[in-house]
Each structure stands twice: as structure tokens, then as C-alpha cells.
Amino acid sequence: MASQVLPLELIDKCIGSRIWVVMKSEREFTGTLLGFDDFVNMVLEDVTEYEMTPQGTKKTKLGQTLLNGNNICMLIPGSDGPES
């Protein structure tokens, strides 16, 4: 029988690893997860932001970024985002 893994445990295991964060808006972020809190507010470093626009995908490189947990739709551990 598989042991139960709680969502925050899974995110905790991702600290120091690459993660792909899909927001509720037309934005996605990839970066290295530095930390998070109980509200799943996340701090990422070495970040690429992908913004989906009618003209195509706009890429922006960022240093450290704080993402508000209320706006996060989905987390994909170990992924470098929409281009991988």
C-alpha cells in the first residue's frame, strides 16, 4: 500500500529543485523553489515568466520572485515549463 503524501509535503520535497507554476491568469513561471508558507505563497529564484498574449508567448527573465498562493492554479515539480 502506498503511503499517503500530503500536498505541502510534496511541495516541501521540491525545495531546491526546478518547478513549473501555472497561475490562474495567463502567466506561468519556472524557477528553483526556495521556500513556501502554509498559504503556498512561493519564493522562486532563477525565474522565467511566460505570459500568454494574443501575439504569442512573451518570456521574461527574473531573479527572485514571490508568487501569491491565491493565484496559483497548478504546480508541476521537476519541470522547466511549457518549452520542455
Which CATH number is correct for 7-77, 2.40.110.10, 3.40.920.10, 1.10.3720.10, 2.30.30.100?
2.30.30.100
Q: What percent of the residues of the chain are helix, what percent strand, and what percent coil, each to the nearest 5?
A: 10, 50, 35
Q: What percent of the chain is predicted at pLDDT more than 90?
A: 85
Predicted structure pTM score = 0.90
Q: What is the dihedral of CA 66, 24, 29, 56, to 10 degrees?
A: -140
Beta-bridge mates of residue 18 = 32
pLDDT tier at 1, thresholds 50, 70, 90: low
The residues, any chain, with a CB within 8 Å of residue 63's CB and separated by 6 or more, are: 45, 46, 47
The predicted pLDDT at position 3 comes to 80
Strand 42-53 and strand 65-67: pairing? antiparallel
pLDDT tier at 17, thresholds 50, 70, 90: very high
